[in-house]
Amino acid sequence: MASDRRKARDSGSSVWLSGPPARHASGGQPHGLGLDKIVEATVRLLDAEGLAKVSMRRLAGELGVTAMSVYWYVDTKDELLELALDHVHEEIRLPADDVDWRERLRQLAREHRRMLVTHPWVSPLAGEYLNIGPRALAFAECAQEAIRDSGLPARSWLGALSLLFQFSYGFGTVEGRWRERCRSLGVSEDELHGEVMARLAGRSEYAVSLATVQARGEGAVGVLRERDFEFALDCAIAGITEMGRSGTGSVGGR
């Protein structure tokens, strides 16, 4: 099953039993395809057309080559998508070490969300592959180093990080999907929001939900969403701080 043909691939031993290969060919060929070029084209195509529209034939067409050529560099489509997935993690800017741990976590969550919104195809892939490519790893490690300064006992580190980054993942995912929908319908976010609100208003089943959304107050959806995100982030950080202060970080009584 392995990629034993390609030169300059690492030994292929993955952390996962059926897991992804990691490194790719050293940038060598002057006029060949090259894995780098393929991955970049894949990301470009994913950004432009979305996950559903990307096929090996379509990608090959973009590269001016036959579908099967790509299979010389990659064993399966999944492997290619994993490479694309890790590739965009490069865009995540990691905070400096000397910043307060709270602010470091905040920045990481914001960057995480931004990356997911910029590349909506990342969400389903990140859910599917339990991926840790080298760039995603750098992101994860930075978060782990930040939580160490929180005062939480070590046994609670993973749980706390889970709260923060499952949140930024989910938030970025639905935000990205929403913006895709706006784009594909050719309407602005505020226009679509207005339409949806109007429809909700006509249906009594949705009364509670409508009230909750309206209770956020007036303003452009982008502004309100920003406030929601920051507030949720504040809640999470406050909760982590509180749990670090109040006790041993063990699961609270019921």
Partner DNA sequence: ACCTGAACACCGTTCAAGT
The binding site for DNA (CB under 7 A) comprises: 5-7, 28-29, 32-33, 54-58, 60, 65-69, 71-72, 75-78
Residue 77 binding partner per list a copy of itself, DNA, none, with a CB distance cut-off of 5 to 8 Å that depends on partner kind: DNA
Give dist(CA 198, CA 183) in Å, integer. Answer: 20
Interaction residues for a copy of itself, span 104-123 (CB under 8 A): 123
DSSP per-residue string spanning 81-103: HHHHHHHHGGGPPPPPTTS-HHH
Q: Between 68 and 138, whose beta carbon lies closer to DNA?
A: 68
Give dist(CA 71, CA 76) in Å, integer. Answer: 7
Residue 230 binding partner per list a copy of itself, DNA, none, with a CB distance cut-off of 5 to 8 Å that depends on partner kind: a copy of itself
Any contact of residue 54 with a copy of itself (CB under 8 A)?
no
Stretch that binds a copy of itself, among 27-35, 62-70, 82-90, 162-170 (CB under 8 A): 162-170
Residue 165 binding partner per list DNA, a copy of itself, none, with a CB distance cut-off of 5 to 8 Å that depends on partner kind: a copy of itself
Interaction residues for a copy of itself, span 210-229 (CB under 8 A): 212-213, 215-217, 227-229
Place of tokens 């990629």: 3
Residue 41 Cα distances to 37, 38, 62, 80, 159, angstroms: 6, 5, 8, 11, 37
- For the bound state, the minimum distance from the C-beta of residue 72 to DNA, rounded and expressed in Å, comes to 5
Give dist(CA 34, CA 83) in Å, integer. Answer: 13
Residue 242 binding partner per list a copy of itself, DNA, none, with a CB distance cut-off of 5 to 8 Å that depends on partner kind: a copy of itself
Single out the residue of 53, 58, 181, 183 in contact with a copy of itself (rule: CB under 8 A).
181
Residue 123 binding partner per list a copy of itself, DNA, none, with a CB distance cut-off of 5 to 8 Å that depends on partner kind: a copy of itself
- Cβ distance 24 to 35 under 8 Å? yes
Stretch that binds a copy of itself, among 1-9, 25-33, 84-92, 172-180 (CB under 8 A): 172-180
C-beta atoms surrounding 221 within 10 Å = 18
3-state SS assignment for residue 153: coil
Q: Structure tokens of 72?
A: 């010389």
N-term to C-term CA, the chain = 50
Single out the residue of 159, 179, 189, 222 in contact with a copy of itself (rule: CB under 8 A).
159
Q: Structure tokens of 210?
A: 């409508």
**CA-wise closest residue to 102 among 152, 158, 156, 138:** 152
Residue 183 binding partner per list a copy of itself, DNA, none, with a CB distance cut-off of 5 to 8 Å that depends on partner kind: none
